[in-house]
Chains A and B, each alone.
Chain A
Amino acid sequence: MSTALLTDLTIFILALLVGIEVIGKVPATLHTPLMSATNAIHGIVLVGALLIGVTAHNVVGYIIAFVAAIFASANVVGGYVVTGRMLKMFRRKAPEPQPEVESLNGHKGLRGLADKIGIGRTGS
């Protein structure tokens, strides 16, 4: 067994354990963004796609490089953008209602205040 294989295997096993450890702590509420994020990270294959260029000097090489670059960059860019879009929506509190409604309605105003200072139920 070569040193290279042994090193790769070591990295693989450690990465597996790190993955289990880190992913296992993510709450169920974030599982969709998590899958999307891990997917985006898988886009690191873009590095591999780019490196094809180092040795590609014929048509077959160029075609493979071209398609791989499209696939990988779509994965990376789309993955990060859509993950960010989802995570942006996760809020601790609902957006405040319009102020004029609040001032007209004492009950709402109190709840709004409670939310603001973080003692409202929605904030707990």
Chain B
Amino acid sequence: MSGFTGYIQLVYVLTAALFVVGLHLMNSPATARRGNQVALTGMVIAVIATFILMIHAGTVTTTGWIVLLTGGLIGSAIGLYAARSVQMTAMPQLVSAFNSVGGGAAALVAIYGYYDAESRGGGVLGTTTVFTVLDVLIGSVTFSGSIIAAGKLQGFIPSQPLIFKGSRLINIGLAVVAVGTGAFLFSTASLPAMLVLVLAALAFGVMMVLPIGGADMPVVISLLNAFTGTAVAMNRSLANIIVGGFGTGDSAVAVAAAADAHVRSIAADDAAIQLAYASKVIIVPGYGLAAAQAQHGVAELASLLEDRGIEVSYAIHPVAGRMPGHMNVLLAEANVPYPLLKEMDEINPEFARTDVALVIGANDVTNPAARRPGNEISGMPILDVDQAKSIIVVKRSMGHGYAGLENELYYDPKTSMYFADAKKAMAELTAAVKTLVG
């Protein structure tokens, strides 16, 4: 390592340190913005150092500079436009799309490194190949898999699980080809083999995500982001999701609810009375709330209740929304202060002393059936909504959640169903509370 590259390496170490410090600052909403800025600083320093290194090397051709700078400008413009214009509800798609291009870039860099070494006639064999093959493999799977995931979330690709005969066989075949080619590349330098590896990995990424339903996209995004903790929260093994099965929608099972169970329906006025004279209200938002664009309406209703001195907080299930933490972002956008957003473990003990739990657009995560063995959601962590003194569920119909299960909460004698679109319901409730309390 010559003196000069040594200095550049030192700068890269500094960059890495800034990334770690930046992520560390994200451990609290109060310092998170600074964290992002620190990480950005690291990135800027790394890019400047790289430019210096390139100039110092002196081997970058004019065409090379033009190609890189044009590409960089185009990419930056696309990224900037997408980041500025995206709706918060569409955040999972965007994160997925950025993840995709990141994976694609990583794969391309690795492919080029291989191509370059090979075209010099030198050996690329041995240790470098291990990382090259892994980079190409993971990068390509991420690229194609994330595109499909983003497409499903955006609705370009049907969100229903696409399963056809023999798809598992194809998956296994692709995996074997990819791993086999990768192993082959360890011992033999071959560009065609590299091409096969790339194609097999790309196809595997597509085939891996296609059979997965929209409901499981949070897990897929997390997985592709190498953030597998969420899968645990959703109580399904990764293997299970990837092999396919859950979220197929055809798995409706016998309901445990008693035959004579009936549902109590109420109107806005009655719901408003319950809310206005409560002393503690917990709002349980689900993706249905975001889908109906009702987060601002909820925030308005909540602040109206707070003005009456009612204690209002939000119970956020780990998988509320379309990716981990998505609901928090949506509520933050509606100016809900983050200290009011409570995590499941924090809020669950509070339901017992809550007068009204207002469930909006959440379903499976409130189903007490999860506490019993023998059904799709058995063992899934749920919000203890049924412990509240009374429950109001805002829902458009008695339709099932993603798990295709009847929600036993709706048949609870303490539960009243308020059938309406979430946004309309929030407007009606707010108006009704206002009329009630003048």
Contacts and interface: CB of A to CB of B under 8 A. Distances in A.
Contacts of A25: 24, 27
A83 to B, nearest CB: 5
Interface string A85-124: 1111111111100000000000110010000000001111
Interface stretch (B73-81, B248-256, B371-379): B73-81
Contact of B337 (A41, A64, A93): A93
B112 A64 contact: yes
A67 B39 contact: no
A13 interface: no
Interface stretch (B15-23, B178-186, B259-267, B426-434): B15-23
Given A61-B116, A70-B74, A77-B76, A27 B28 contact: yes
Interface stretch (B160-168, B204-212, B326-334, B407-415): B326-334
Interface string B24-57: 1011111011011101100100110011011001
A10 interface: no
Contact of A81 (B61, B71, B83): B83
B367 interface: no
A5 B221 CA distance: 30
Interface string A56-89: 1100111011111111111111111111111111
B71 A77 contact: no
B436 interface: no
B101 A72 contact: yes
Given A62-B67, A122-B337, A29 B50 contact: no
B343 A79 contact: no
Contact of B64 (A56, A95, A122): A56
Contact of A42 (B40, B59, B102, B343): B102
A122 B318 CA distance: 22
A67 B326 CA distance: 31
A78 to B, nearest CB: 3
Contact of A5 (B63, B130, B227): B130
A121 B105 CA distance: 47
B336 interface: yes
A56 B324 CA distance: 40
Secondary structure type dominating chain B contacts: helix
A27 B225 contact: no
Interface stretch (B92-100, B149-157, B397-405): B92-100
Contacts of B108: 49, 64, 67-68, 71
B111 interface: yes
Given A28-B343, A30-B26, A87-B32, A35 B127 contact: no
Contacts of B311: 121
Nearest to A115: B337
A91 B332 contact: yes
Contacts of B33: 84, 87-88
Contacts of B88: 86
A77 B325 contact: no
B98 A79 contact: yes
A103 to B, nearest CB: 15
**A interface bracket (residues with beta carbon within 8 Å of B):** 35 or more
B195 interface: no
Contacts of A90: 29, 32, 328, 332, 338
A69 B338 contact: no
A38 B99 CA distance: 10
Which of A28, A47, A89, A93 is the most central at the interface, judged by chain B CB atoms within 10 Å of its CB? A28
A37 B43 contact: no
Contacts of A47: 12, 46-47, 50
Given A26-B27, A80-B39, A67 B221 contact: no
B83 A82 contact: yes
A112 to B, nearest CB: 10
Contacts of A35: 95, 221-222, 225, 227, 323-325
A50 B79 contact: no
Interface string A18-50: 100011011111111111111111111111111
28 contacts: A22-B24, A25-B27, A26-B23, A28-B318, A29-B325, A37-B22, A40-B98, A42-B99, A43-B105, A45-B109, A50-B47, A50-B50, A56-B61, A65-B64, A65-B112, A68-B112, A70-B71, A72-B75, A74-B79, A75-B105, A80-B36, A81-B80, A81-B84, A84-B37, A86-B91, A87-B33, A121-B311, A122-B340
Interface of B: 12, 15, 19-20, 22-24, 26-30, 32-33, 35-37, 39-40, 43, 46-47, 50-51, 53-54, 57, 59-61, 63-65, 67-68, 70-76, 78-80, 82-84, 86, 88, 91, 94-95, 98-99, 101-102, 104-106, 108-109, 111-112, 115-116, 126-127, 130-131, 221-222, 225, 227, 299, 303, 306-307, 311, 316, 318, 321, 323-326, 328-329, 332-333, 335-341, 343
Q: Across chains A and B, which 7 residue pairs bring their CB atoms closest together, nearest first?
A: A78-B79, A69-B71, A31-B325, A73-B75, A32-B325, A81-B83, A48-B109
